[in-house]
Amino acid sequence: MAITGNPSYIFDGSDLKSGVAREDLLEQITNISPYDTPFVSQAPKVGCRHIYHQWLTDTLSSQTLSGALEGDDWSLSSTTAPARDFNVTMILRKDIGLSESQRAVDTAGFRDQYAYEVQKATKELAIKLELCVFGALTTATGAAATARVMKGLQAFISTNNTFAGTNAGAASNTLADATHDGQLSVGDFNDMLNTIYTAGGNPEQVYVSPKVKRQISAFAVPGAAAGNVYAKNIAAVDKKLIGAVDFYDSDFGLIQIVLDRWVPESTNTTTATASATSTGGKMFFLSRAINRLAWLRPIHHELVGKRGDSVAGLVVGEVTLEVLSQTANGIIKGVNNKSAVT
């Protein structure tokens, strides 16, 4: 039986929030912003005691095929003293402030908005540190109005440093060069492993951006005609086509391919050499024990306290990148977004 008249409790669609009905608000907050930091999460952590952090490096002398003379008199062999390398600590900080009104109201998704902001700030600073590790940063010692900046991997790795594609081995990357395409090949990958091994390093990991990871997964089977056969397997039992390469079993050991969204990636989307105007992608070949994070102050929360009718605080930490021997690492630069086969 239909209700006659115009009852106030019938929703007419003009304002679904009217009347005495309570709101229906889900008690959770959805935030899918990425905050994974592969390098920061797994890098060895050590302490440091000064904003100017130093360590020593040394090398063995080169040897010849000659022997020593019997009964020869003593003479001092040439030696080299260990050399100092350094980096400066960088302050990572995010300030937080909330009015007492914001903290007093009934909220959805969290009990204390201040504590929620502390959690967000901690994740944001971890992302900042990951970006700084792979970013093009050089040392800045700072001043009264200038923040200190630590040196990143790009500035540290100077020996095993080359370009991808047909410009591999060049001293500089000239984008106007018609011979340059920046297309990564399995040869580029193996050549870098060979170079690092010759220098004494044994990298276990290669950090790559998503599009470069796809190129590695599309590496051709060695010896395949024209490079058109991909290194993919079919798991017949599971009815799956396996097209990903997460580990590369090379002549120089098993290499983990680490997908890292914060590694610099090219903005170009073409393989044409004439259109390869932005080949800014990079690959980092790293020896885990060599690259460490030295903390002067671990990331932590400090409560400033009451500021009038508000509460204030900050999440702060101070850290630097420690690269014990840059020759144990390597970089392939100028990587295009697409390989020679697509």
Mean pLDDT of 24-36: 85
Question: What mean pLDDT is reported for the chain?
Answer: 83
CB within 8 Å of 183: residues ≥ 6 apart: 164, 165, 166, 271, 336, 338, 339, 340
The closest of 58, 103, 99 to 306, measured between CA atoms, is 99
Mean pLDDT of 20-35: 80
How far, in Å, CA of 322 to CA of 147, rounded? 19
- Which tokens sit at 34? 């990425």
Q: Quick one: how far is CA 40 from the chain centroid? A: 8
Say yes or no to pLDDT of 297 above 90: yes
Is this model's pTM higher than 0.95 or not?
Answer: no
**Which pLDDT belongs to residue 228?**
42
Question: Contact at 8 Å (CB) between 221 and 231?
Answer: yes
Strand duo 310-323 + 240-242: pairing:
unpaired
**Which pLDDT belongs to residue 224?**
45
Question: Contact at 8 Å (CB) between 292 and 65?
Answer: no
Mapped onto helix, strand or coil, the DSSP state of residue 306 is strand
pLDDT in tens, 204-258: 999 999 989 988 888 865 544 444 444 455 556 666 666 678 888 899 999 999 9
Strand duo 310-323 + 52-57: pairing:
unpaired
Residues of the chain with CATH 3.30.2400: 38-57+82-150+294-323
Q: Give the angle subtended at the CA of 185 by the CAs of 180 and 187, to the nearest 5°.
A: 110
Question: Which helix or strand (DSSP H or E) is residue 331 part of?
Answer: strand 330-335
Lowest mean pLDDT among 16-25, 41-50, 168-177: 168-177
Q: Which fold has domain 38-57+82-150+294-323?
A: Major capsid protein gp5 fold (3.30.2400)
φ, ψ dihedrals at 35, nearest 5°:
-140, 20
326 secondary structure, DSSP code: G
